[in-house]
Structure 1
Amino acid sequence: MAMITDAFHKTPLAAPQLTMQPPGGKTLVTLPNFFQVSWPDRGVLPGELDTLSAADWFGMNITLKPELNSITYSFGDGSTVGPTLNLGGPYPSGDITKTFDEAGEFQVSADAVYTGWVSIDGSEWIEIPGTVAIAGTPERVSVKTARNSLYLS
């Protein structure tokens, strides 16, 4: 099982991509921001089967299946949400939200933890011991303050 665990750790698992609303990496203090994780086109996705080369495994057919164990959202100000299986969502129904209390520049990210399963020559799925952590790409968020002004014409 050690070789399979090692192969699972070397599998190019998909890194979560974080999107935010409002878009554009700019927001205002006290404005609710909605976050959502999606998966890129590259890398092995949660639930996707990854078949290893039989030539590398003494003729055995080895199939790995990663499973999302958790996502942790980090907002760059010391606050986090998770670990959770919640992928968030867009405004107004998304339930991974963050309201920044202060202006500043923040790095927000979502990191994934995977567990895995293996099938050897078509056997039933066997759980692979341990987990694999994949860091998402940090996104910069600029939080500004707004002032109201009343102008009479």
Structure 2
Amino acid sequence: MTEGTTCVDVTELNPAPTPAEVFQYFKALPLPQLTTSVQPPGGTVLVGLPTIFFTDAPVEQVFTVDIRGFQVVITAEAREFTWHTGDGGAVVTSEGPGAPYPDQTVTYDYTSGTYDSYLTVTWGGTFTVDGSAPVEVAGTTTTDGPVVQLVAVEARAVLTNPYD
């Protein structure tokens, strides 16, 4: 016989992580810096021909972290893509990662010059605590991808004699 033993619910002493608490961890995650791909490839684009922007990097990342003894699984999702064109502050925003030709969804027309472009991704996400139902993370964070230098050139028509 055991005397004086009682069960204590420790949940009140160590409550599950809140969305705001998980957000602090979310901001510190090593989220990828997505690389900008362009078409035409090679860094030279043509004036008068839309330049196609896209990224083929993963747009979802899953992380497992320990918060005060709770196993928290955070699924980070790329929710907004901001393509900095390097053209005097011009940006193009999309909800998706773009796509290469012929399914392009993000394009920009350049004038002659040299431009530094890059991609900023806004990440949001959901999380579970010890296998619970998913809950929305309480905010977003951003990452900037590496700079891609583009040179916009103007193609000129040249008449030739087909009989030479």
Alignment TM class, shorter chain as reference: 0.7 to 0.9
Match of 1:7 among 25, 34, 51: 25
Q: How far off is 1:148 after superposition? A: 2.1
Cα deviations by residue, 1:75-101 (Å, 9 ceiling, x for unpaired): 11132211x21221112221211121x
- CA–CA separation in structure 1 for the residues paired with 2:116 and 2:86: 5
Deviation at 1:59, TM superposition (A): 2.2
Task: Tell me which stretches of 4 or more aligned residues in structure 1 moved more than 6 Å.
Answer: none
Q: Aligned partners of 2:154, 2:120: CA distance in 1, in Å?
A: 28
| Distance (Å, rounded) in 2 between the aligned partners of 1:76 and 1:62 | 39
Q: Which residue of 2 aligns with 1:25?
A: 43
SS at match of 2:137: strand
Equivalent residue number for residue 105 of structure 1: 114
Q: Tell me, yes or no, if structure 1 residue 122 matches structure 2 residue 131.
A: yes
Largest Rg, 1 or 2: 2
Alpha-carbon contact 2:79-2:96 (below 8 Å) kept? no
The 3-state SS of whatever aligns with 1:8 is: helix
The number of aligned residues is 143
Gaps of 5+ in 2: 1-17
Question: Percent same amino acid at aligned positions?
Answer: 28
TM-score w.r.t. length of structure 1: 0.84
Matched residue type, 2:71: N
The DSSP-based 3-state class of the residue aligned with 1:129 is coil
CA distance in 1, matches of 2:102, 2:62: 34
TM-score relative to the length of structure 2: 0.79
